[in-house]
Amino acid sequence: MNKHGNSERDPVYGYLENPRELLYFDMDGVLADAEARMKEWSNKLDIPVDVLFEKKFYHTPGFYLDLPPVKDAVESFEILSKKYEVYILSAPCWENPSSYTDKRLWVEKFLGEVAYKRLILTNDKSLFSGRALIDDRMKYGVTKFKGEHIHFGSDKFPDWKSVVTYLN
């Protein structure tokens, strides 16, 4: 037990106990590589990727569970978690209820202890504020997020190296 009465595995975090700037990470396309999974399925099924997106293959139960991490995402999350109070802010797939559990298990599998209890699932990212939100899209309230939007995959932030350099 620590001084707050919590087990060592259940660290105290948040504004009050750990006054660091908040940094949010989108999951799909930023931490987890959904496009890589679609390409795998495209090759296996001999169906173009755009057709898979049209047919909404991401509605398939289990789709989010084993997505590979985006290149350098895990290491970057760990580096930035040393400076910022980090959270994963992801929109679940409403039509795929398993996405809620799959995303939670993905975080545990690939991000481990550093991301313990730091997954927030929401379809409205405008409800949150902080130093920045790293997101590859402009959906789900990203444009009204109360802080900076770091547009992952853009010319300014094409990869994790550019994001880490900018935020460190």
Residues 6+ apart with CB under 8 A from 10: 116, 117
Active site residue 28: yes
Contacts of 166 (CB under 8 A, 6+ apart): 150, 157
- Active-site option among 10, 26, 135, 155: 26
Catalytic (active site) residue 124: no
Helix (H) or strand (E) holding 130, with range, is strand 129-135
d(CA 155, CA 157): 6
Which of these is catalytic: 28, 102, 135, 136?
28
- Residue 118 falls in which region: left (phi positive, over 0), alpha (psi -120 to 50) or beta: alpha
Q: Write out the catalytic residue numbers.
A: 26, 28
